[in-house]
Structure 1
Amino acid sequence: MAARDFTSELVGSFSEGSNGNPTVAMIEAAFRHHGLNWRYINCEVPPERLADAVKGARAMGWRGFNLSIPHKVAVIEHLDGLGESAAIMGAVNCAVNRDGKLIGENTDGKGFLKSLMEVVDPKGKAIVMFGAGGAARAIGVELALAGARSLIIVNRSAARAEPLVKLLNEKTKTPATGVVWPKHYRVPDGTDIVVNATSIGLGNGNEPLDVELSSLKPGMVVADVIVDPPDTRFLRDARARGCTVIDGLGMLVNQGVIGVKYWTGLDVDPAAMRAELERIFGA
C-alpha cells in the first residue's frame, strides 16, 4: 500500500512504570513498515497525574493513547465517551481522538477475538476460560458479544470469579457459570474452545496449567494469553493432544492492529508487528 503523508502525528501509552513495553517496539515497527510519520511514545504517569496527562494529550492533539494498569478504570472519568465493550467491562486500554472527543475503547479482548477468528468463529461455541482478572474480563465480554453459546469461568477464588460471571449474565446474552478450580480440572466433554487467561506460564515456559490433559481432545482450539514465552507448556501439552493452539503473540499483535486502525484509519500489516515481537522474545 502507498504511504500516506501524515505530519508528526502522536500516539502513546500511559503506564505507571517504564518497563520496556514491547507494544512500543511493535507499533513503531508498523509505522516504519508503512512509511508513516507517526510516533508511539511510552509515558510514565503516576495515578495522581493521570488527569494532567489526559489534558496534555488533548492539548497536544494526540490521536490517542493506550493505558495500562492501574489507569484502565480511573481514566474513564476523564474521557468523553466509551465504546460498547469498554462500557460493559468498565475498563479502557485505548483512547481514540474522534473529532476532538476522546472515546475509550478496550482492545484487550478484541485482539484476542481477532486472533481466535483466524482459526474459529466463537459464535455458538462452548468455551472454558481459566482466570477472572482483567484479561479474562475483556476476553469474556468479547466472546459473549461474538455469540458464544456458553462460558465456564474456572478460577481459584470464587469471590473473584463471581463478579465476572454476574457481569456476563446480566449484560450479555451468553450464559456464564463459575467453577472453583479443583486439582487437575477436567474440561467438560463438548467444549469447543479452552482459554488460559491467567498469568500461569509467564516468564516460565515449563510451568504447567493444572488441567487434566486427557480432557483436551483433538479438534479443540486451545489459546493462551502469555507472550513471554509465547510457546507455553500449556500450549505444548495441548498440541501433543491434537488440539489447534493459538499463542499470546497473536492477541498482542491484533491489539496493535486494532489500535493503529482506530488512530490512523489504516489496516497495517500484522506480520511486521509479529516479526518485531518474535525478535524481542526470541520466538
Structure 2
Amino acid sequence: MGDRNFRSILTGSFSTPCADNPTVAMVEAAYRHAGLDARYINCDVKAEHLAQAVAGAVAMEWVGFNCSLPHKVAVIEYLDEVADSARIIGAVNCVSIRDGRLVGDNTDGKGFLASLKGVTDPSGRKVVVLGAGGAARAIAVELGLAGAAHLTIVNRDVARAENVAALVRDNTPCAAEAMAWTGPVAVPEGADILINATSIGLGDGNALPPVNLDTLRSGLVVADVIPNPPMTHLLRTAKARGCTVLDGLGMLVNQGVIGVELWLGKKLDAGVMQRTLQEIFEVPA
C-alpha cells in the first residue's frame, strides 16, 4: 500500500466553447495505451476567467495545458517565456509548467508540418496557402522556418495576407507574397503544395473553397486543415484529379503528440490517437 500513488498527472485545455473538442478523447486514449496515470481535462474557460484558470493550473501543479480560442493571444501576458516560433506567430496554444514557470509554444504549425512531412518535404518547395487567419499564420511561419522556397498567401482581405507574408519574409529565409482572393484561385503551374487553412468545409462535406479545379493537377500535394470531415470536398476532388492529398486529422494528432512530449518528455503513440479520432468522426477503416 505504501508504494502506491493515487495522484494523477494533470494536463488539459482552456477554451470556450469546449464541448466539441475531441482532443481529450484522443490524448487520454494515448495516455491509457502508454500506461500513464495522467488526465487531460477539457475546461470551458471564459475570457474574463483566463488569469484565474492559469493560476489554478499552477496551484494544482498541472504539467501543462493547451489554449484554444479565444485565449491563444491573451495567455501570453501570463507566461514567463515564449518559444521563438510562437513569438514570431504571436500566439500560444500549448503551455508547459516547469518548476512554477510557464513556457508557451505553438503547435499548430508544427503539427501540420509533421503531418506534411509524411507525404512530402516542404524544403525548397513553392506553396500556396488559402487563408490568413491563425492557422494560416502558424503554418506559414513553420513552412518558412522549414526551408520552403516561396509562399503565396491568398485571402479576401489582401492586407491580412500581406501581414502574414511580411511575417514570413521578416523572420525566415523564405520569399512570400500576398494575393487577393477575388474569385476561384488558379493554382500556379510551378506550385508544389496547396493548403486550405480556412474553415471552409468544417462540418460540411459539400463546402468547397473557391479554387479553379482545372488547375489541380497530378503531382500537386493538396492539404486541408479541416479534421471533420477528414475527407473534405476539396480533397475528394483533388484526389480524383490525381493529386496527393493530406487531411486534417494528422495535424490534430501531431499537435497532441508534440504537446505531450513538451509536457512529459514522452512520445505517445500517434496511431492510437489517429484511430480514436477516426472512430469519433466515423471514418471508414
Q: Same fold (TM over 0.5)?
A: yes
**What is the CA-CA distance between 1:231 and the residue it aligns to?**
0.4
Aligned residues: 279
Counterpart for residue 36 of structure 1: 36
Distance verdict in 2 for CA 1:277–1:6, change over 3 Å: farther
Structure 2, unaligned stretches of length 5 or more?
A: none
Structure 2 residue aligned with 1:57? 57
Confirm whether residue 219 of structure 1 aligns to residue 219 of structure 2. yes
Query: Any idea what SS the aligned residue of 1:72 has?
Result: coil
1:170-196 deviations in Å (ceiling 9; x for gaps): 222211111111322111111111100
Structure-1 residue corresponding to 2:108: 108
Hey, what does 1:16 align to over in structure 2? 16
Distance across 2 between alignment mates of 1:209 and 1:264:
38
Structure 1 equivalent of residue 120 of structure 2 = 120
Q: Normalization by structure 1: what TM-score?
A: 0.96
- Post-superposition offset of 1:209: 2.0
Gaps of 5+ in 1: none
> Which runs of 4 or more aligned residues in structure 1 lie more than 3 Å from their structure 2 counterparts after TM superposition?
none
Checking the alignment, whether the CA contact within 8 Å between 1:196 and 1:225 is kept in structure 2 is yes
Contact 1:94 1:105 in 2 (8 A): yes
Q: Which moved more, 1:97-106 or 1:231-240?
A: 97-106
Q: Partners in 2 of 1:187 and 1:98 — Cα distance?
A: 45
**Contact 1:6–1:38 (Cα < 8 Å) also in 2:** no
Quote the Cα distance in structure 2 between the aligned partners of 1:44 and 1:69.
Answer: 11
Give yes or no for contact 1:127–1:148 (8 Å, CA) kept in 2: yes
The 1-side partners of 2:188 and 2:46 are apart by 44
Letter in 1 for 2:87: A
Which residue of the partner structure matches residue 79 of structure 1? 79
Distance, in Å, in 2 between the alignment partners of 1:17 and 1:175 is 37
RMSD, aligned CA: 1.3
Cα deviation for residue 159 of structure 1 reads 2.6
- Report what 2:93 is aligned to: 93
Match of 1:225, as an amino acid? V
**1: CA distance, partners of 2:109 / 2:218:** 25
Matches of 2:184 and 2:64 in 1, distance apart? Answer: 43
Displacement of 1:18 after TM fit? 2.9
Q: 1:77 to 1:6 in 2, by over 3 A?
A: farther
2:57 partner amino acid: A
Q: Tell me what 1:142 maps to.
A: 142
Matched, 1:209 2:179: no
Q: Secondary structure at the match of 1:71?
A: coil
Query: In the aligned structure 1, how far is the partner of 2:76 from the partner of 2:181?
Result: 32
Separation in 2, partners of 1:254, 1:95: 16
**1:189 is matched with which residue?**
189
Bigger mean CA offset, 113-122 vs 154-163: 154-163
Residue 24 of structure 2: SS of its match in structure 1?
helix
Match of 1:257 in 2: 257
SS in 2 for 1:187: coil
CA distance in 2 between partners of 1:154 and 1:17 (Å):
29
What is the Cα deviation at residue 166 of structure 1? 1.7
> Percent of pairs identical after alignment?
59
Q: What SS does the corresponding residue of 2:72 show, helix, strand or coil?
A: helix
1:100 to partner: Cα distance: 3.1
After superposition, the C-alpha distances for 1:70-110 in whole angstroms (9 at most, x for unaligned) are 11011101011011110101100000123431100000110
